[in-house]
Structure formats: C-alpha cells, structure tokens
Structure 1
Amino acid sequence: MSRQPDQSIALKEWAVAIQALTQGDQILLLRKGGIAEEAKEFQLKENCFYLFPTYLHQKAELLKEEFQPILENIVQQWDQTNKEIPIQYFAEVVQDIEIQDDATLARLYPFHIWTENFAEARLHWKREKPLHLLIVKVYRLEQTTKILLRDEYNGCKSWISLKDEIPQMKITPVLSEEDFEQRVQLILQSINS
C-alpha cells in the first residue's frame, strides 16, 4: 500500500483494542461516538488514519475473558505520569457498515474482543444512531513515533488532529492480503446470514 494519511489525523481507541488489531485478533472496530463528538454521533472523517492508543476507561470486565490478561499487561506497562503516546500503526477503512439491530451484532460476537453486554450497550446508547462497524486494514510503521500527550487530545471524542508530525516511512500490513480478505468475507457472510 502506498497510501498514508494525508494529514495527521488519528482515531482514539483503547490500547487493548489496538493491540488486538495489530496482533490479528480482530479486524474491526465498533464505534458509536464519544460524548464530546461535534456531530453528537460517530462520523467517518477519514478512510486512512493513525491509531492513537488511549489508556483511561479500559475495563477488564468489558472484555472477553481471554483478552483480560492482555489488558492487565498494558495497564502495568502504562505509566500515568508519561506524557508521551506511541504512534506505531495506522489503519485504512475497508468498509463502514451501520448496525442497528441486536441480531446482526450477535452474529459479530466471534470477531471482536468485547463482551456481549458491552457490544450491546454500545449499540443501545443513543439508540436512534447506528453503531458503526469499521472493517480496517492495519499497517505497522517502520518505527514508533512518540508524541506529546496534549490537553486537546483529551476528552470523549473519536478524532484528533495531531500537532506533531509523523514522518512518512515504510509500512507493513499486520496481516497478509489473503488472510485479511478471508476474515473480511467471514464477517460479511456472518452479517448477511
């Protein structure tokens, strides 16, 4: 892939979810939008963006049991006094599918790290708005760039504009094209069954 983000836009996501993406445990994100969203709902601002790990509000009880030790490890390694955030990955949205019913969401359960209760809570929050299923292809940057955790990055919002420049560098997909496409097909078949 030759595409990289044209500007320094990043999507905030739990560090544990980013790790799941980068280890191939999932290729999707479920987004409803944060409390501080400009449009009061999630909107896909860019198809290609950096992944900005967040460490607050992650809760083990919202994850399937097998992913809880990963979160424990992340929490132990995170130093709350650290004012730098590692930018190691970016993602390209392959599909943005709106989910509005429990049955479709239930069929997605094998494809993500969250508990059924948490996924359902995301769907039912702001019930009139759809839950966005983002199927994303994730790329590893050749090297990690640490950026300052600025005040404007805080808050319950999905998107941030990075003030620090991320150098353009060689990238590598975390999954092979064949593996990624097989997973996409499994998700789409599940949704449409």
Structure 2
Amino acid sequence: MQPVNRIALKEWAAVCEALAQGRQSILLRKGGLEEGSAGFQLQHEEFWLFPTRFHQDPAQLKPDAEPLLAAATVPPDGIVALRLYAVAEDVHQLTDPGQLAQLEPLHVLAPETVRERFHYRADGLNVITVRVFKQTTSFEISEAPHFAGCKSWVDLRNKLPTSGLQPVLSDPDYEVQCDAIRAALQ
C-alpha cells in the first residue's frame, strides 16, 4: 500500500457505505461524461473513495440497500469526508449481458441500474475487485471547483496518509467474496 495518496475515485455514497460494511467488494464502472468515448479507465490501482450523492437515487438501489443512504455520513456543506481507501485487485471488462444476473448478489445496485450502465453508449461494463480499508475518523477536506463534473477521478491536491487503515474484511472473508466474484465472471 502506498504510504500517501492524493487520488480519489468518485462513487455513490450508498455504494461507499456498502463497501465500508463489507457488503460488496466490487465497483461497476462505465465512465463519466468528461471521460469521453473511451469511458472509464483504471488509471490508478490505489485510491481514496470520494462519496458523492450526485445522480444517486434510492430507486437505483436494491430495496434492501436503501438504508445505506441514511447510513452514509453526510458532512457539512462544502466539506468532503474521506475515510475509505481501495486497492484494485482485478479488473474485468464485462461484455456479456448474461453475466449481469450472476453479479447481482455481489453488489447493492438495482438490476435495472446495472443494465442501464451496461448498455450506456457501447455495451460493456468494468467490474473492479477492490480490497477496501477504512480509518476510524475521516479526513475532511474543503470542496474545490475541480472536484465538480461527471468524471471518475479527482486529484485531491494534498497527499493523505494511509497509515492506520484497517481492512474492512478479514483475509478469509475477503477471499470468500473474491471466490464468488471469480465464479460470477467465468
């Protein structure tokens, strides 16, 4: 793990909370408008998770995941709270829409949300297996204009230390999730 990192990946606050609770260990990415026709690219193997509520809607979550919206911490206006750190362990370019159903137990998004992402622009979806770490207190940083927009990656401009981070899941529990992810992607 890098000792410091200034890169963050924007993700829905509810998905960040699911990652924090160990309910999922994958990210399903297509790419923001600012990423153009190439779509999402895994530019960084390690990153802070930048929780956002932009475009987030309870209807886009599975019904049993809707409480994650309330559980996700809402920082004061003008502040971004970062407490989760992810290490990308594997990236799979999903091209078969038939595999979406096999992934369904492994994430909190509503099936229709995932189908819409898959079919947005060109068919396909990036499935990223992540090992998630958290700290007990969040780094609180001021929002900045360059954080805005439909883009996945954010340069925080300040390096945040990763010392003291603890894995969300134990090694055996994480391996169980990884086995399920690999099985779903076969």
Using structure 1 for the length normalisation, give the TM-score. Answer: 0.90
Runs of 4+ in structure 1 off by over 2 angstroms are 4-7
Q: Residue 64 of structure 2 aligns to a residue in which SS?
A: helix
Distance 2:77 2:13 in 1: 15
Residue equivalent to 1:181: 175
Work out whether 1:89 is the aligned partner of 2:84. yes
Tell me the amino acid that sits aligned with residue 175 of structure 2: E
Structure 1 match to 2:60? 62
Residue of structure 1 in register with 2:114 after alignment: 119
Query: SS at 2:159's partner residue?
Result: coil
Q: Residue 26 of structure 2 contacts residue 127 of structure 2 at CA under 8 Å; is this kept in 1?
A: yes
Residue 73 of structure 1: CA displacement?
Answer: 4.6
Which residue among 75, 78, 86 is the counterpart of 2:74? 78
Deviation at 1:181, TM superposition (A): 0.7
User: In 1, distance between residues paired with 2:169 and 2:107?
Assistant: 16
**Equivalent residues in 2 for 1:97-116, closer than 5 Å:** 97-116=92-111
Deviation at 1:186, TM superposition (A): 1.2
> In 1, Cα distance between the equivalents of 2:58 and 2:131?
25
Query: CA shift at 1:39, angstroms?
Result: 6.1
**107 and 100 in structure 1: CA distance in 2 versus 1, 3 angstrom threshold:** same
Task: Answer yes or no: is the 8 Å Cα contact 1:32–1:131 preserved in 2.
Answer: yes
Residues 24-75 of structure 1 show CA distances to partners (whole Å, capped at 9, x for unaligned) of 111001000001116641000011111111122110001000111221454x
* SS state at 2:133 partner: strand
Which amino acid is the alignment partner of residue 6 of structure 2?
A: S
Shift of 1:163: 1.8
Q: CA deviation at 1:190?
A: 2.0
**Where in structure 1 are there 5+ consecutive unaligned residues?**
none
Distance 1:4 1:39, change over 3 A: farther
CA distance in 1, matches of 2:15, 2:162: 24
Q: Which structure shows the bigger proportion of residues in strand conformation?
A: 2
User: Does the 8 A contact of 1:89 with 1:140 survive in 2?
Assistant: yes
RMSD: 1.7
Q: Is the 8 A contact 1:5 1:48 kept in 2?
A: no
Q: Which amino acid aligns with 2:81?
A: P
Aligned amino acid, residue 42 of structure 1: F
In the alignment, the residues of structure 1 paired with residue 163 and residue 12 of structure 2 have an alpha-carbon distance, to the nearest angstrom, of 24
Shift of 1:165: 3.1
- By how many angstroms is 1:172 displaced? 0.6
Match of 2:32 among 30, 34, 40: 34
SS in 2 for 1:114: coil
What is the CA distance between 1:100 and its match in structure 2?
A: 1.1
Gaps of at least 5 residues in structure 2 are: none
